Amino acid sequence: MRIMISADMEGATGVTWTDDVIPGTEQWQRFRRLFTGDVNATIAGLFDSGATDVLVNEAHSSQRNLLLEDLDGRARMLTGRHKPLSMMQGIDSGVDGVVFLGYHAGAGFDGVLSHTYLENQITGVWLDDVPASEGRLNAAMAAEYGVPVLVVSGDDKACDDAQDYAPEAELVTVKECVSRYAAICLPPARTAELLSSAAADSMNRAGRVERYTTPHRIEVEFDASHLAQAAAVIPTVEQIGVRRVGFDAPDMTEAMKAFKIVTAIAAGAVQGIYG
């Protein structure tokens, strides 16, 4: 059984504010260790219940956050940016299940550091008219490759979100959201137990299922009109509101590639403190 872990950082143990996840800060250096600890706990549970190979795909920001030197020696790690499938790179390699570790709520919703791809310029994303977090988008891509979502971890808001897009997944709440920048956190020793147990329990659902391929529509709303104007220069992307764009794609893989371009163009259009 081959399992993939898509490892994001905002939903990791103890993370509550910007400096915890921004590369180069003192806090980031601290939370890299806790993040790696979450991943290792999950790896241990997967191997304990029959996994034969675990690929960890770094999915946060620079995608160079986990400490390879501290990683469980049985796993492999995909690190670095500019991967064609981004957070889901590796989902097309024949894996039998995927873990969404350290995930968070989507843009426009309550949750610790909630956002969808861009930290604060996007106010909402919709997949086929349904509000979409990164988890929902990535679950749709997993379905396209016949890969079940086994575990989702993060704050309570992320787990509430996952109950809808991955109702059979094991959910691990490592902290309780108080505000965007505050949470009631469990210490690493306790979250490690929860993550290992959930990962082990989830292995009874591992195994590829029927692939689900269908056309999709994604709409994105920004916090400023010029970002929508910038994104609308992309072929197939249409400005459908003052701050909103939309596009159609034949499948989820193509939809996510287009979404990456939309977010990259919008991020490049941000000008200092005025956005």
Amino acid identity of residue 194, one-letter, is L
Catalytically annotated residue among 82, 115, 216, 226 = 115
Q: Is 10 annotated as a binding residue?
A: yes
Strand pairing report for 216-222 and 244-249:
antiparallel
Q: Is 226 annotated as a binding residue?
A: no
Q: Is 8 annotated as a binding residue?
A: yes
* 115 catalytic per annotation: yes
Alpha-helical runs (H) found in the chain:
26-48, 134-144, 156-165, 188-202, 225-231, 252-268
Q: Is 238 annotated as a binding residue?
A: no
Instruction: State how far the Cα of 192 lies from the Cα of 44, in Å rounded to an integer.
Output: 10
Q: Is 104 annotated as a binding residue?
A: yes
Instruction: State how far the Cα of 161 lies from the Cα of 140, in Å rounded to an integer.
Output: 14
DSSP string, 65-109: -S-GGGS-TT-EEE-SS--TTGGGTTTTS--SEEEEEEE-PPTTS
Any idea which residues carry the catalytic annotation?
115
User: What residue numbers does the annotated binding site for Zn(2+) cover?
Assistant: 8, 10, 60, 104, 134
User: What residue numbers does the annotated binding site cover?
Assistant: 8, 10, 60, 104, 134
